[in-house]
């Protein structure tokens, strides 16, 4: 299952990311890092042996974007591509 884990860099979220990934799910973290640090992603990669994709965004912004476009998956895909490759 593809899972968007909001707050995934936080205390509960990062532990959930490990459990869900080890259970075979494809996890994408969405976190603003307002109460966590990007180094969590490095620790997750070390524990899991692979990087967990992460979108740095405020969830409210994504919800607003969804209201505008009515297509959340498309918005997330664009944000994700932008984060990874630096272009739309
Ligand atoms: N035992 C321990 O060592 C320990 C350590 C930390 C926390 N805790 C406990 O865990 C609980 C808190 O854990 P948690 O995981 O719920 O909180 P958290 O703050 O650790 O995680 C929330 C995550 O959501 C992100 N976030 C917040 N608002 C956001 C937004 N609008 N958009 C996108 N991302 C956003 C934050 O950056 C953070 O990464 C508390 O009860 C705390 O006491 C325990």
9, 11, 33: which to mutate for ligand 1, most atoms within 8 A of CB? 11
pTM of the model: 0.81
Q: Is 31 in the pocket of ligand 1 (CB under 6 A)?
A: yes
**Per-residue tens of pLDDT for the chain, all 88 residues:** 888 999 999 999 999 999 999 999 999 999 999 999 999 999 999 999 999 999 999 988 877 766 666 655 665 655 555 555 555 5
Q: Which two tokens stand for residue 48?
A: 């899991």
Q: Which protein residue's CA is at the shortest distance from atom 26 of ligand 1?
A: 7
Contact 23, 6 (CB under 8 A): no
* pLDDT in the model for residue 38: 96
List the domains of the chain with CATH numbers: 2-85 (3.40.50.720)
DSSP codes, 39-50: HHHHHHHHHHSS
Question: Is residue 35 within 6 Å of ligand 1 at its C-beta?
Answer: yes
The contacts of residue 53 (CB under 8 Å, 6+ apart) are 27, 28, 29, 80, 84
Residue 20's alpha-carbon distances to 7, 39, 52, 73, in angstroms, are 14, 20, 11, 20
């Amino acid at each position: 299952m593809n899972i968007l884990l909001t707050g995934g860099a936080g205390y509960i979220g990062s532990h959930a990311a490990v459990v869900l990934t080890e259970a075979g799910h494809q996890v994408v973290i969405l976190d603003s890092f307002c109460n966590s640090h990007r180094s969590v992603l490095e620790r997750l990669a070390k524990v899991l042996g692979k990087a967990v994709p992460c979108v740095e965004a405020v969830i409210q912004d994504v919800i607003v974007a969804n209201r505008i476009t009515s297509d959340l998956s498309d918005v997330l895909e664009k944000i994700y591509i932008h984060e990874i490759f630096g272009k739309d």
